[in-house]
Amino acid sequence: MGSFRARLAETIAHRDTILCIGLDYDPQLVPASVRAGARDEAAAAVAFNRAIIDATADLVCAYKPNLAFYEALGPRGMAALSDTVRHVPDGVLVIGDAKRGDIDNTMQRYAQALFDVYAFDAATVSPFLGRDALEPFLARPERGAFILCRTSNPGATEIQDLLVDGAPLYEVIARRVESWDTYRNTGLVVGATQPRELARIRDLCPETPILVPGVGAQGGDAATAAAAATKGGASALINVARQVLYASPGPDFATAARGAALRLRDLCNRARTR
């Protein structure tokens, strides 16, 4: 098995899409028809996710479940997460959005859980503790580590714009991640809500894959993000969640999700650099 960067590039080329769907099951938003037919919330999550995957798998290169939505449902929720990952067809990557960050021996367990137990192809992690903490993730060439750099939330500027030797912290992180990329398996997380910063980070890191959340409900523009993140033909994943998952509150939710995903797939493909 090759490096994660190579796997990602091959997946994008083969499937001709940079769309990633965030499988963030929210009981407050899921159609009532799904919950009515399930014995509990975890079973509803499985039914909903399977329907979304079946409706959209040919339009995406990856799915990205955020673990918080499943942890909140308890042990059965984590079983629902496993069931969801198993339902993703071969050839589509699955990214565990866990944002893990701790000392190295703890990170070894996080890597084991995310890669070996839940079988994610990649995971999101925090750079705050430095390279030694990330080494359990970086040392797996075939698995990806998407490292938080410039996030999509409004309060990101409080920390990520702090100056370090005259440069904002997010630029320092971007450059540092490039130096950590021994096995060609690192990536960056940069929000679509920060288009200028996204363009700057792509210029600083012309080959590093970028995972771009924040499109849709958070205010980011898919076409702008796709154009910036793929500059020079670099690999990127444009992540959408609520805009696709909850495109309809009715029993036609899967059909509506496919329609929304198709429009976004085509929009990103028109904007991206190949």
| CA–CA distance, 181 with 189 (Å, rounded to integer) | 15
* 3-state helix, strand and coil shares in percent for the chain, rounded to the nearest 5: 50, 15, 35
127 within 8 A of 148, measured Cβ to Cβ: yes
pLDDT of residue 112: 97
pLDDT in tens, 74-106: 999 999 999 999 999 999 999 999 999 999 999
pLDDT of residue 214: 87
pLDDT in tens, 112-152: 999 999 999 999 999 999 999 999 999 999 999 999 999 98
CATH code of the domain containing 48: 3.20.20.70
**In this structure, what token pair is assigned to residue 255?**
């059909």
Question: Reduced to 3 states, what is the DSSP secondary structure of residue 186?
Answer: strand
pLDDT for residue 229 is more than 70: yes
In order, the DSSP letters of 22-66 are -----TTTS-HHHHHTSSSHHHHHHHHHHHHHHHHGGG-SEE--B
The catalytic position among 35, 99, 176, 231 is 99
Distances (CA, A) of 190 to 41, 57, 199, 229: 32, 24, 10, 9
pLDDT for residue 220 is more than 90: no
How many Cβ atoms from other residues are within 10 Å of residue 266's Cβ? 13
User: Distance between alpha carbon 28 and the CA centroid of its chain, in Å?
Assistant: 22
Query: Is 99 one of the catalytic residues?
Result: yes
| CA–CA distance, 141 with 90 (Å, rounded to integer) | 19
Instruction: Report the percent of the chain where pLDDT is more than 70.
Output: 100
Assign 1 a pLDDT band (cuts: 50, 70, 90). Answer: low
pLDDT for residue 16 is more than 80: yes
H helix or E strand, kind and range, residue 99: strand 93-100
Host domain of residue 213? 4-271
74 within 8 A of 29, measured Cβ to Cβ: no
- How high is the mean pLDDT of the chain? 95
Number of structural domains the chain divides into: 1
Q: Which residues contact 164 (CB under 8 A, 6 or more apart)?
A: 172
Distances (CA, A) of 174 to 153, 171, 190, 231, 243: 18, 5, 10, 16, 28
Question: Reduced to 3 states, what is the DSSP secondary structure of residue 125?
Answer: strand
Instruction: Report the percent of the chain where pLDDT is more than 90.
Output: 92
Q: Which residues contact 177 (CB under 8 A, 6 or more apart)?
A: 127, 147, 149, 186, 188, 205, 208
